[in-house]
Amino acid sequence: MGERGGKRVLEKGNVAMAEGAVQAGCRCYFGYPITPQNEVPEYLSKRLPEVGGVFLQAESEIASINMVLGAVSTGVRAMTSSSSPGISLMQEGISFLAGSQLPALIVNVQRCGPGLGGIKTTQGDYYQATRGGGHGDYRTLVLAPWSVQEMFDFPFLAFELAEKYRNPVLMLPDAVLGQMKDAVVMTPPGPIITYEKDYVLDGAKGRPARNIRSMYLEDDDQELLNYALRTKYEIMEANEQRHEETETDDAEVVIVAYGTAARLALSAMQQAREEGLRVGLFRPVTLWPFPAKALRALARRVKRFLVVEMNLGQMVDDVRAVLGPEVEVDFFGRPGGGMPTPREILAHLHGRGVDKGNEWADKVDAAVDHYVWWREGVLQPREVSPVGHKGVADE
């Protein structure tokens, strides 16, 4: 984000994000505790009252996101944060925000799953974040920070874009970015941009009544709303693709990675360059809209890409869809709390897999073997009669 005034300090990603949100004008936070993002509510419970804001620990994630919906209906900047399982609980509310066309910031400090999972880091929620996540035909704009500085800066951009498009905006860091400390300048990256809000519910005295809703039962209204939303999403796709390139000018191979995985990839790139390998880094900053235009432009001269993720392959689908079958797209990822090491990424750049030794291979085999039921012949189907339903099993 360039040079700007202010002191460089060492701060935690979660805290920097929370402070960034406050400086960006957020005045309401509703949330429910979950590791690894608990520094966010901890910090805001103290900070928001200082600026006349509201901090409220709700009884659940479902309550939190609906409180956000209520708050933003009045025009105030409001947010919630959680981690993967909690974000899953919020999907209904996010869908309602999208259907009601309301702005909000939702931060998902990802932890590994599926299920309750663990508290280690991951990037397992890419699909959920970029495909809407809840029910219905909608999208959320998704920002992927890779540094504590961007953790601080992105709330400014998120609220601006949320209000511009009247659409929920997600920030998608992971546990490492939430927990790590890094140098950060905590002064606003620029002026705060807002937009006219002619939809807010602030009392109808002297004007016609307004109605915010996401339910349309009459005639073709729901279908028509979806066409209108599609047009909005197309405008977002045209205008809001963001990415960053590092040393791609002379690159023969380009790593595509976002967030923490991009940090690991940067180290691999630096090591590869020392070995004389011409490697570059393409980092999507918006995951939706995916920076397809720039990636396609890069593929005019680069013929090999390596996608690195902290999952078993999600963004790689978007990369392959954008680049088509003519371009070689390799993938390397580690799921469930595993982080690709720069050394492992480097091995993949050299075109060879990672040999992690027999011990690790045996562990993986043992884990797979543990679930024996999918082995041929182990699981036997059996027929049952549909008992218990009157008039079906009985004569």
Partner 1 sequence: MLFEFMTAGFGGQGILYLGDVLAGAALREGRNATFLPTYGAAMRGGTANCVVIISDKAIGAMTLDQPHAAVLMNQPSFEKFQAVLRPGGLIVANTSLVDPSSLRRTDLRVVWIPATQISKDVVGTERSANIVALGALLKAEPIVETATIEAIFRDGATGKRRAMLDKNLAALRAGLDFQD
Binding site residues, partner 1, CB under 8 A: 8-10, 35-36, 119, 175-176, 179-183, 260, 263-270, 339, 341-343
Structural contact between residues 300 and 84, judged by C-beta atoms closer than 8 angstroms: no
User: What residues does 55 pair with on adjacent strands?
Assistant: 29
How far apart are CB 75 and partner 1 at their closest, in Å? 36
Nearer to partner 1, 11 or 19 (CB): 11
d(C-alpha 130, C-alpha 170), whole Å? 9
Question: 183 or 364, CB closer to partner 1?
Answer: 183
Q: Residue 176 is encoded by which pair of tokens? A: 């490492």
Euclidean distance between CA atoms 88 and 128, whole angstroms: 9
The CA angle 152-124-164, to the nearest 5 degrees, is 45
Q: Report in angstroms how near the CB of residue 264 gets to partner 1 at its nearest.
A: 5
Residue with smaller CB distance to partner 1, 38 or 91:
38
- Which lies closer to partner 1 via its Cβ, residue 139 or residue 263? 263
* Smallest separation, CB 182 to partner 1 (Å): 5
Q: How do 181-185 and 328-333 pair as beta strands?
A: unpaired
Cα→Cα distances 355→197, 229, 271, 306, 358, Å: 57, 48, 18, 18, 8
The distance of closest approach from Cβ of residue 12 to partner 1 in the complex, given in angstroms and rounded to an integer, is 9
- How far is it, in rounded angstroms, from Cα 170 to Cα 83? 12
Nearer to partner 1, 106 or 112 (CB): 112
Task: Give the nearest distance from C-beta 155 to partner 1 in angstroms.
Answer: 21
The CA distance from 68 to 71, in Å, is: 5
Give 94 or 269: the residue with its C-beta nearer to partner 1: 269
Least separation, in Å, of the C-beta of 35 and partner 1? 4
